C-alpha cells in the first residue's frame, strides 16, 4: 500500500580489511528509511527524495514535502538552492 514506511536498521559490516592485530575492520552502516510510492519502494537516503513516477518529494524521514511551488516561500531560497544540499548535487538522481 502506498504511504507504507519501512526502516532497515543500522548494522555492522565487515570491510574486508584487517587492522594491525589482524582483526577485521568493521564499519557501521546507517539505517535506511523507505516509503512506498506509486507501488515501488523509494529509498529516502538524501535530503530530498523524489518519486520518479509522480514527482512527490520526501525528506530523509519519509515525510512528504510541500509542493515545490511553496519551497522557499518563507526563507527566500529557490528550488535549486534547496536541492543543492544533497551530496551528489541532484535530487535522488533525477532531473539533473
Asked whether the whole model's pTM tops 0.75, one would answer: no
Each residue's pLDDT tens digit, 7-53: 888 777 778 899 999 988 887 777 889 999 999 999 998 889 999 99
**Domain spans of the chain?**
5-82
Q: Which helix (H) or strand (E) holds 82?
A: helix 79-83
Amino acid at each position: 500500500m502506498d504511504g507504507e514506511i519501512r526502516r532497515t536498521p543500522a548494522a555492522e559490516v565487515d570491510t574486508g580489511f584487517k587492522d594491525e592485530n589482524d582483526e577485521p575492520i568493521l564499519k557501521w552502516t546507517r539505517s535506511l528509511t523507505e516509503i512506498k510510492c506509486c507501488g515501488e519502494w523509494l529509498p529516502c537516503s538524501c535530503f530530498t527524495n523524489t518519486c520518479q513516477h509522480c514527482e512527490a518529494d520526501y525528506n530523509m524521514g519519509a515525510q512528504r514535502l510541500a509542493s515545490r511551488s511553496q519551497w522557499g516561500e518563507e526563507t527566500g531560497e529557490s528550488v535549486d538552492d534547496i536541492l543543492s544540499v544533497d551530496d551528489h548535487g541532484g535530487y535522488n538522481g533525477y532531473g539533473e
